[in-house]
Structures are given as structure tokens and as C-alpha cells.
Structure 1
């Protein structure tokens, strides 16, 4: 057990040091959701009326509705960026060397995902603090209840990024795949619009959003911020996390790095 904890601490420390040196990464992670919160929400407020839907007990502003979705945006973008660094590490040889160590492969990948999740959670709390300063406040206990939801959502999206990176050999290719995955995942979810609003325009779009794992991660965060438990969202987020972790484990070969390099 001790070697596993040492490896976990080393990987988390390395990710933290990299994050500390890249201050622009922290700023950019906050700029994206703040643009939606300040600019787009002001324009959509009048056009999008929101009914009383769980977990809300009264009518809410559009800015209040999208805060959980913007936390999900931070987790999504940071999960992909963390996986991009994994591609870089693999090209430079450090990750390949790590994967050939005697430690279990699944633990090394999980440690990498957990390290990226820790950075994402820190960014989410910074965003929630800025939103509170702007007058968009959640119940006080919600800031504590949301921590497990943020961690689980971060692990799910980090595992998705790692699974994608296992089949991509060059950083340039992964950057293109990131855009192909991030934007459909984000926009076809409940991050910006409730399901009933999407159903008014397209039932197909509504069904796609309903099965999107990112939607369930957002709803898990949304309910947790108001001190409520969403069992269905928890179940599907946990299942998606296990599936993505299994794909990541299957995709990485401990001796050579990528499955596509076999043979």
C-alpha cells in the first residue's frame, strides 16, 4: 500500500506544481464560465423563462440556473487539458516509463485523473466564490455538499479524456478531438437549458441530452448545491465513470503506450 500512496502523492504533487507554474491556465478556466455568466446570461435572461423545477423551490434567474452547468464546463475543459498533458508526457517518455513500472497500471491512470480532478475542484470553488460575489449565492451548506459531486464529475470527465488520449499519438490530433468532444458534450446537455425547454424544439435533442453522461454530472452538482440528493444522476455518473476508466485502462499498454502501436 505504501508504494501506491507514494506514487499517488508524486503524481498529484507534479500536477499541482505544473498548475502553479501555469497561472494563465487558472485564469482561462475562469474566463470561459464568467463570459457565459456575465455576457450570454444577460442576453438569454429575457428569452428563456424558467419554471419551478427541482431542486428549486421558486422561480430563479437564468444566471442561477447555469451556475452548476458552468461548474461542469470547468470540469470538462480541465479534464481534457489534463489529458492533453498526458499525451505530452507520453511523447516525452515520462508517462511511458511510469506505465512500465511495477505499480498497477490502473492505479497510475487513476492517480493522474485524481490529480487533474483536484485542480478542477479548486477552479470550481474559485468560480463559485466569484458568482457569490456577483450576488448568485447558494445555500451555505451546499458549498460543502457539492464537493463529492464535483469530485465524481471530475473523475468521470478526466477518465473520458484519458480514454480518448489512449488512442491518439500526437498532440495536434488530440487538440482537434478535444473540440469535437467538448462542444457537443457541453451544448447537448442540461448545462444551459432544462430538458423541458429542449423538448419544445426537438424531442430528439431532448432525448440526446437526457442520456448524455455530462447532463447527469451537471444535475448531480445542481442538486448537491441545494442540499438535495439525486440518486439517478449519481448512478449514471458513477456508471459512466467506470466505463470511461475501463476504456482508459484497456487503451493503454504498459509496455508500448498505445494500442494502435501494437503489431
Structure 2
């Protein structure tokens, strides 16, 4: 196991150093959710009424409702940002050097995924601290019980980014593809409004939101912040993680690239 642990330490440390040297990335990760929390929520509060739905046992403010969705937003953007760095590494050649290490390709990709997810979780807790300063509080124990939900959701969203990056060969194309993934996933979810609100507008949109893996990641985080259990969301996120990881492994398979090059 020693070579595996050395590789894990080296890749996670590389991700951490890259993040430390990109301070604007940390600020950007916090600005987006804070704008939604402090600006958009103030306007939407009067327009969007909320009923008492699990895990809430009483009426809540709209700002409180969207906090789990904004935590998911941070993980989603972080996963895509990390995948963007993979495309850049592949263009500069460092990605090829990483994947030629004498270790299973799946382990190397998982180490990369774990490092980026850890950074995303740190950003989420920084956001939760700022939200707490504005009197938007969760249950005290919820900050701890949310950690496994954040880890699993971050791995799932990061694996999605890995899978996408494996099929994109030029850095210029990645930003456009990201927009086609991030914004539909975010807006067609329960991050900003519950499913029953979407049902009032369109049954089809409600079904799309219910099938969206990001919806279940948000609900997993939401329930965990209130020390509650959501087995269906956990199952859906775990299945999505397995599918996205399988796609990423297939996409980064050198044999597939060789066959495509010969064709």
C-alpha cells in the first residue's frame, strides 16, 4: 500500500498547492453563492412561498432553504474547475506524465478527484461560516453530519467533471461545454426551489429535476445539515458516482485513444 499512499499524498498536495497559488479561485468560489444568498434571495423571498417540507419542521426563510443548494453549487463549480485543470495538464504534457506512473489509472484519477473534493469542502465550510455571520444557522451538529454528504456529493460532481474532461481535447472548448452542464444542472434542481413548486409550473420539468443527480446531491446535503437521513438521495448520488467514474476511466483509457487515432 505504500506506493498508493505516496501517490495519494503527492497528488493531493499538488492540488492544495495549486489552490493556494490561485487565491482568486477561492474568492470566486465564495462570491457566486454569496450573491445568491444576499442579493437574489432578498428579491425571491416575497415571490416564492415555502411550505413545511422534510427535513424542516417549521417555516423557514428562503435564505435558509437555498443554503444547501449553494453548498452544492460550490462543489459543482469546483469539480468543473478541477477538470479544467486536467485539460490544461494534458495540453502541457504533465497529465501524460501522471498517468504513466506504475499504478492503476483508476487510483491516480481517484487521487486527483479526492484532492479537488477536499478543496471544495473547505470552500463550502468557509461559505457556511459567512452565512452563520449573517444569522443563517443550521443545527450545530449538522455542520459535522454534513461532512460525509459533502464528500460523497463532491466526489460525484468531480467524477462528472472528470468524465467530461476525458472527451474534450482543447482547452478552448471546455468553457462552452461547462456552461451546458453547470447551468442546466443547477437551475433544474431543488437548489433554488422545491419540487412541488416546479410541479405547479410543469410536470415534465418536475420529472427532469427529480432525475437530476445534482438534485439528489443537494437533498443529501440538506438532510445532513439537519441531522436527518435521506436514503433515496444517498442511493442516487452513489449510483451517479459509479457511472461517472466508469465513464472517466473509459475516457482516459489509452487503448481507446490508440484505436481512435488509428481510425
If the TM-score is normalised by the length of the shorter chain, which range does it land in?
over 0.9
Cα pair distance change 1:195/1:262, threshold 3 Å = farther
Other-structure match for 1:158:
158
Q: Aligned residue for 1:120? A: 120
Q: Which runs of 5+ in 2 are unaligned?
A: none
Residues 17 and 259 from structure 1, CA distance in 2 versus in 1: closer, same or farther, beyond 3 angstroms?
farther
Match of 1:88 in 2: 88
| TM-superposed deviation, 1:253 | 2.4
Give yes or no for contact 1:78–1:116 (8 Å, CA) kept in 2: yes
1:28 aligns with: 28
Compute the displacement of 1:254 (Å): 3.8
1:104 maps onto 2:104 in alignment: yes
Residue-by-residue CA offset, 1:45-75 (whole Å, 9 max, x unaligned): 0011100000000000000000000000000
| Structure 1 stretches of at least 4 aligned residues deviating more than 6 Å after TM superposition | 255-259
CA–CA distance in structure 1, aligned partners of residues 18 and 230 of structure 2: 35
Q: CA deviation at 1:98?
A: 1.4
CA contact under 8 A between 1:167 and 1:259: conserved in structure 2?
no
Deviations 1:7-44 (A, max 9, x none): 01000000000000000000000000000001100000
The answer on whether the counterparts of 1:166 and 1:258 sit within 8 Å (CA) in structure 2 is no
Cα RMSD (Å) of the superposition?
1.3
After TM superposition, the score normalised by the length of structure 1 is 0.98
* Cα shift readout 1:87-111 (whole Å, capped 9, x = no counterpart): 1111111111211222000000111
Query: If the length of structure 2 is used for normalisation, what is the TM-score?
Result: 0.98
CA-CA distance at 1:255 after TM superposition = 6.8
Give CA deviations for 1:126-185 in whole Å, capped at 9, x if unaligned.
Answer: 000000100000000000000000000000000000000000001110111001100000
| Distance across 1 between alignment mates of 2:225 and 2:131 | 13
